[in-house]
Chains A and B, each alone.
Chain A
Amino acid sequence: MGYRAFLIKYAEIALKGKNRYLFENALVDQIRRALKSVEGDLRVRKEQGRIYVECHSETYDYEECIQVLTRVFGIVGICPVVILEDQGFEKLAGDVVRYMETFYPDCSQTFKVNARRARKSYPLQSMEINARLGGVILDAFPKTKVDVHHPGLMLNVEVREKIYVYSQEIRGLGGMPTGCNGKAMLLLSGGIDSPVAGYMISRRGVSIEAVYFHAPPYTSERAKQKVVDLAEQVSRYCGPVRLYIVNFTDIQLYIYDQCPHDELTIHMRRYMMRIAEHFAVEDKCQGLVTGESIGQVASQTMQSLAATDQVCTLPVYRPLIAFDKQDIIEIAQKIGTYETSVLPFEDCCTIFVAKHPVTKPSLKSIERSQERLKEKIQGLVEQAIETTEIIEVGVQSI
């Protein structure tokens, strides 16, 4: 007796009224995508407001299946299901006892049978099934007791074409299926925060693209590879990510030549935003996403954020805005990006940092120094956009 199917539980989607089918279809798509890499013939079926994953091959990899399903946004719970042929109630009773023996060998906790007769032609009603199966279990396992209010074990028995028995629920990530809530452009730096920001926003059903700014020779080939790796790790959750790699060196050096050094980071970030927005608009993204959190560094004070926001027309989403560093680190560890993020390669934000950057830039003074960039900056931005490299990350797993 083994698990041959999974019942997929989702919560929020069920609230969505007439758009519900759109969300359900998006979830089914995401589950199919995730299961592609799993060994075995696993099929996804939508039926009467439920989604099932069923195994149609002799064998499949159970652990791997659970692992990929627990990475799909929109899934609240995964219930491994044992499927039984309907060969009369006596046979069912025997199988249920075997089920209990297999999965709960000591069987000392309280329980409740929760039957659901989806196939109305089945001779017993739900309540009857509950009562009779409960009796069978009590006879077979004298140590156990029924508790209908707070059962230690909820044994679900669904009568459909076949009979589905399940009692265990593995927690999913929640959120909403990727792709059902539009698309956004993530500014990915190689640090701890931005991959987490990408993860958080895509957990709300947003698919993401990403842009990375590198500054050779001030940043190395390895720093770039690190960002590709991070994008790959985030794509395990949110699906394929298109990654734009922008050569930022000339813009950085020009700003360095022209502007006061304590304002360098602010100006740099303003041009990063502009370039990110260019690609975002081109790819029909509805917003930009950054990993900023208030006050974490000089460029993330409220004044600095206002100064960077000023150059964008698209909304800038900052899912980590009110998070402490430690909380962000915990998520990074959970989703597996932390180890890569802390590899010690310079990224272009740190290398030109002034010793004492401004923490409360005034828009006036920023705009004044902006004037000094007038001569060449437009050309440099265009050149950076033209020479941008595009890498499609996580495509193999589709």
Chain B
Amino acid sequence: MEVYLDHAATTWCYESVRDMVIKTMMEDYGNPSSMHRKGVVAEAYVKKARGAVARQLKVQDKEILFTSGGTESNNLALMGAAWANRRQGRRILYSAMEHAAVKEPMKRLEEQGFETVEIPVDGQGVVSLAALEGALTPETILVSVMHVNNEVGSVQPIEEIGTLVHEKVPGALFHVDAIQALGKYHIYPGRMGIDLLCASGHKIHGPKGVGFLYIRGQTKVQPQILGGGQQDGMRSGTDNVPGIAGLGAAVEEVYRDLDKKVAHMYQIKGLLTDGLKGLDGEKAVIHGMPVLQGAPHIVNVSFPGIRSEVMLHALEDRGIYVSAGSACSTHKRQKNSPLDAMGVDKGQRESAVRFSFCEETTEEEIRYCLQALKELIPILKKYARR
């Protein structure tokens, strides 16, 4: 039996997405920038996808910019907003839960003379509003907070943070990495006070290599990729029509009956977490927020004494695919990780495994997984490094 429980890393495409990608690769393959009919046809796909995304977020079409994925969106939003607004100030805040696609640009900005400040989180991985409020000075130009954390599934109070940022420093921009949140939550930048929002196609059953960035109205962002001036000069390069069309189709489908899908994922999550609690003499430690408060699709758990990688490969042997902490977990990565920020000790960090689902994950798959864990834990514990 093959059980894929790594949907937060990536997942399969919807059939509607596949059809859209094939159609725009094989039939309507034009370049949207071309003057002729082929170009016009291709452009229509991009427009339609832009419309689909904008409708879902309840924003204007022209506020949506397509990119090569979540990482590019984050880079463009952070580097672009920092440089375009550097005359207002040089201070940037970001939460300790951020992904490397945010933390690495922060390091670069720090080297370039910006002042970047990490905002701590509590033991459940939730940003401390008091710390954030204290850090918001008039020089602050940008605040970056991840909606749903990819490793532990902690959910930030985005609307509250948005209100706080704008009340305290009216000129500051609020950036949200919503890569794991899209398709699990309704996200409305207008009402939530979000100025910049990143998302990716392949986390919501769309294609890899495509994502988008929402940029509110007149927000100043300096383009990072220069060239032929596509997308109003904000992101040059021939539009990735198959990716964009696929992303549009995925956004439409993932939000259809969202409440039902989310309810199903919570049910799956509950089944897994209840099962885990019964395993291993109740020594398994589940990280993050209480089941129903955390994201519906992510469970992060430590089996103390069993190294993440070993558990991962042992499950792989039985056809079960999970992830060790985050998708790429090396020795280096374990420091400065969300678990580290949450104050989780080294032994638990080194034995953390992430299970993540989608709306099609079945109870049978979870039971199979729990049975495998039940068999594996005693064997793997016996051969731990002494």
Contacts and interface: CB of A to CB of B under 8 A. Distances in A.
A344 B313 contact: no
Nearest to A344: B330
A351 interface: yes
A256 interface: yes
Contacts of B309: 220, 346
A218 B386 contact: no
Interface in A287-323: none
B316 interface: yes
A297 to B, nearest CB: 16
A353 B313 contact: no
Interface in A118-141: none
A358 to B, nearest CB: 14
B310 interface: yes
Interface residues of A, number: 16
A355 B312 CA distance: 24
Interface in B288-318: 309-317
A216 B383 contact: no
Contact of B313 (A218, A253, A256, A352): A218
A217 B385 contact: no
Contact of A217 (B316, B332, B386): B316
Contacts of A253: 383
B36 interface: no
B314 A217 contact: yes
Interface in A340-384: 344, 346, 351-355
B191 interface: no
B385 A351 contact: yes
Nearest to A351: B385
Given A220-B309, A344-B330, A354 B314 contact: no
Contacts of B383: 218, 253, 256, 352
Contact of B385 (A216, A220, A352): A352
A116 interface: no
Given A344-B330, A344-B331, A346-B309, A216 B386 contact: no
Given A261-B386, A352-B385, A353-B385, A216 B313 contact: yes
Contacts of A355: 385-386
B383 to A, nearest CB: 6
A65 B130 CA distance: 66
A347 to B, nearest CB: 12
A218 B310 contact: yes
Given A256-B383, A353-B385, A216 B317 contact: yes
Interface string B301-344: 00000000111111111000000000000111000000000000
Contacts of B314: 217
Contacts of B317: 216-217
B327 to A, nearest CB: 13
B87 to A, nearest CB: 43
Interface in B252-311: 309-311
B46 to A, nearest CB: 37
Nearest to A350: B385
B158 to A, nearest CB: 35
A221 B309 CA distance: 11
Interface in A261-278: 261
Contacts of B310: 217-218, 351
9 contacts: A216-B317, A217-B315, A217-B316, A217-B317, A256-B383, A344-B331, A351-B310, A351-B385, A355-B385
Interface of A: 216-221, 253, 256, 261, 344, 346, 351-355
Given A219-B313, A351-B310, 13 more contacts: A216-B313, A216-B317, A217-B316, A218-B313, A218-B383, A220-B309, A221-B316, A261-B386, A344-B332, A346-B309, A352-B383, A352-B385, A354-B386
